[in-house]
Amino acid sequence: MKTVGQHGEVWAFSENRDLMIELLGKGNELAQKLQTKLAAVLLGHEVEKEAKEFTGYGACKVYVVDDPMLENWSSESCVSALTYLVRQYKPEIFLFGSTRKGKEFASRLAMRLETGCVPDCTHLSIDDNGRLLMGRVVYGGNAVATQFCRVDPQIATVPPRVFEKPTYKKGEGEVIRVEAKLEEPRTEVVEVKEIEAPKVKIEEAKVVVAGGRGLEKKEDFKILDELAETLRGQVAYTRPLCEDRKWFTDWVGLSGHTIKPVLYIGCGISGVIQHVAGIRDSKIIVAINKDPEAPIFEITDYMVIGDLYEIVPALAVALKKLLKTG
Amino acid sequence: MLRIIVCVKQALDVTQIRADPATRHLITVDAPRKISDFDKNALEEGIKLKEKMGAEVIVLTATSEDAKMILREALAMGADRAYFVMDPSFENSDTLATSYILAEAIKKIGDFNLILCGEASVDSYSAQVGPRLAERLDIPQITYARKLSLDNDTVTVERTLEDRYEVVKAKMPALVTVTGETNEPRIPSLMAIMKATKKEIVTWSAEDLAISKEKVGETGSAIHVTEVLAPKVERKKVLIKGESAAEVAEALAKALIKEGVIGR
């Protein structure tokens, strides 16, 4: 066990700016607990401005590898830069953003350093021995596992919006420019197609009306759209509607978006554990389902056993009426 | 001939896991086992490539428990040969240790053109074994493939990221991890199941692969699990009743307004 003053730095890295700021907030808390410093890692080309910005979110140091080869986030170049930095400066904890690229980088870095990596952490704290305790959802949402890593650096990846963004204060951090020998990419990106982004991010919606297999046709979503509009909320989908029926591309659930709206209304959703894992932290959960045995009712505040094709439009009407007169 | 190795995990069927309500501990002993969903997509993709351009499809698993059933299923789907790497010492291996076992097995299998893995397993969902395996074998890797094609010594993949699709090329030998979007895994016919019983399953122990016991299982793992608990469920579970849809809807609307969750 290390004593005060012996702990290595806490580092954070994400190619996603918002997520990076969230990591800095949590990283700062961990660093304070260990009485060590928080550092941001920044890879890219001509990134001076961002380096300064990170110091305002709590980073005492910003390690910058500035190289044109890092501009398009090639895995080999980035992973080799990260490996070089860790070997040189020996952080104790390294937090990554759980984007798909971030998770790949973290896994590959962990392999090169022969250490562990706990992905998609929703809980991070320091135990009495000064180790990082990492909590994550496992078994398709059936459980939360608490894990620790006995090798340094202890690597964790963190999904978006798990931790709060800290407030910006003009910081006095040090920017450290590091020359690292980078590996050439072994893959070549030949084409990029943008996926059309939804107007409002589902994670940011206060009210979510979600539809599942109980909806027979894609067009039937217009009744959910109308209810969502009444509630100034967003419509969301389950994975089978995206992967099996190919109606949509983006789903809520363990492998998709995790949401915690103030109000969640599940329509024709049976509530398989993977979906439930993505909505569990909603404040109020309403479920509308024909099947009284549907597992979603196990985690529901208000249960309606009935036909969504009747209940959903009626609910929109009732709400319009009550909100007008109420 | 092209040689494709598909790594599959015997996963718990997570929909069949129950928790003890008193202790919140999971009851996994009697939960059924199956080929992890995305590994099955990887297998299907391998078999499709075989049908399209001719290839030998090898399926590989590493485990501390019996997993011959899933290998039989993989063979029935169309894999040519299976390697069953089993040793009790592998129990509680993390991804660091598991990728070591798989890498040693692949080195013994010999030359290959392509390794396919699922994007992640359905039970632990860490998405690390594929990337770690490619690192250990020092080959190019492409994660989260939704489309895949081969041309001479190049693999071309369309991968799904959060906000875009990337079309990426790599020289083979390479490793690709596959998402659930890629295909619909086939269900083998009775005939195929019968024929598969004649296909070979090679069984290897840790000793056969000269695997060092310090590098596997609990001792060889960097990650240690302190507890696994079912989440607490504290929900109101109020049943909204009424004579008609309109009545039910009105009662629900009133309840939600009272909760203060309806924005004005």
Map out the domains of chain A as residue ranges. 10-177, 202-325
| pLDDT given for residue B86 in this prediction | 98
3-state class (DSSP) for residue B206: coil
A87-105 per-position pLDDT tens digit: 999 999 999 999 999 999 9
| Window from A199-213, B93-107, B156-170 with minimum mean pLDDT | A199-213
Total Cβ atoms within 10 A of residue B193: 14
Mutate to test the interface with B, among A78, A112, A142 (most CBs of B within 10 A): A142
Question: Using CB atoms, which residue from B14, B136, B263 is nearest to A273?
Answer: B14
Is the CB of residue A153 less than 8 Å from the CB of residue A91?
yes
End-to-end CA distance of chain A: 61
| pLDDT given for residue A198 in this prediction | 62
A289-316 per-position pLDDT tens digit: 999 999 999 999 999 999 999 999 999 9
Q: How far is A299 from chain B (nearest CA, A)?
A: 6
**Residue A326 clears pLDDT 50, i.e. is over it:** no
A200 touches chain B (CB under 8 A): no
What's the one-letter identity of residue A201? K
Q: How far is A173 from chain B (nearest CA, A)?
A: 31
CATH architecture for segment(s) A10-177: 3-Layer(aba) Sandwich (3.40)
Tell me whether strands A10-13 and A93-97 are parallel, antiparallel or unpaired.
parallel
B183-232 per-position pLDDT tens digit: 999 999 999 999 999 999 999 999 999 999 999 999 999 999 999 998 87
| Window from A295-299, B135-139, B256-260 with minimum mean pLDDT | B256-260
**Residue A3 clears pLDDT 90, i.e. is over it:** no
| pLDDT given for residue A195 in this prediction | 83
Is the CB of residue B240 less than 8 Å from the CB of residue A153?
no
CATH number for region A202-325: 3.40.50.1220
Which of chain B's residues have a Cβ under 8 Å away from the Cβ of A286?
252, 256
B10-65 per-position pLDDT tens digit: 999 988 888 888 899 998 888 899 999 999 999 999 999 999 999 999 999 999 99
Is the CB of residue B186 less than 8 Å from the CB of residue B77?
yes
How many helices and strands in chain A, by DSSP H and E?
8, 16
The set of residues, in sequence order, having a beta carbon less than 8 Å from that of B99 and lying 6+ positions away, is: A111, B128, B129, B132, B133, B135, B136
The CA-atom distances, in angstroms, between A114 and each of A87, A104, B96 are: 12, 15, 7
What average pLDDT score do residues A31-36 get?
A: 97
A219 touches chain B (CB under 8 A): no
What average pLDDT score do residues B76-95 get?
A: 98
B262 touches chain A (CB under 8 A): yes
Tell if the CB–CB gap between B222 and A151 is shorter than 8 Å. yes
A140 touches chain B (CB under 8 A): yes
Opening angle at CA B134, ends B128 and B136, nearest 5: 95
Whether the bond between B88 and the residue before it is cis, its omega within 30 degrees of 0, is: no
Comparing CA positions, the residue from A254, A135, A153, A96 lying closest to residue B225 is A135
Whether the bond between A313 and the residue before it is cis, its omega within 30 degrees of 0, is: no
| pLDDT given for residue B159 in this prediction | 96
B7's tokens: 């790594």
Q: In chain B, whose CA is at the least distance from the CA of A152?
A: B222
A315 touches chain B (CB under 8 A): yes
Question: Using CB atoms, which residue from A141, A194, A323 is nearest to B164?
Answer: A194
Q: In chain B, whose CA is at the least distance from the CA of A107?
A: B128
Average model confidence (pLDDT) for chain A? 93
Tell if the CB–CB gap between B167 and A192 is shorter than 8 Å. yes
**Residue A159 clears pLDDT 60, i.e. is over it:** yes
Task: Give A286's DSSP letter.
Answer: E
The set of residues, in sequence order, having a beta carbon less than 8 Å from that of A245 and lying 6+ positions away, is: A218
What's the one-letter identity of residue A272? V
A114's tokens: 């022969």
Tell if the CB–CB gap between A149 and B257 is shorter than 8 Å. no
**Residue A196 clears pLDDT 80, i.e. is over it:** no
Q: In chain B, whose CA is at the least distance from the CA of A233?
A: B263
| Window from A52-61, A270-279, B49-58, B132-141 with minimum mean pLDDT | A270-279
What average pLDDT score do residues A213-217 get?
A: 95
Total Cβ atoms within 10 A of residue A219: 9
A115 touches chain B (CB under 8 A): yes
B144-189 per-position pLDDT tens digit: 999 999 999 999 999 999 889 999 999 999 999 999 989 999 999 9
pLDDT band at B263 (very low <50, low <70, confident <90, very high): low
DSSP notation for A38-82? EEEEEEESS-HHHHHHHHHTT-SEEEEEE-GGGTTT-HHHHHHHH
Sheet containing strand A38-44, edge to edge, reads: A117-118, A154-158, A93-97, A10-13, A38-44, A61-66, A174-177
| pLDDT given for residue A161 in this prediction | 82
Mutate to test the interface with B, among A251, A255, A257, A270 (most CBs of B within 10 A): A255
| pLDDT given for residue A199 in this prediction | 61
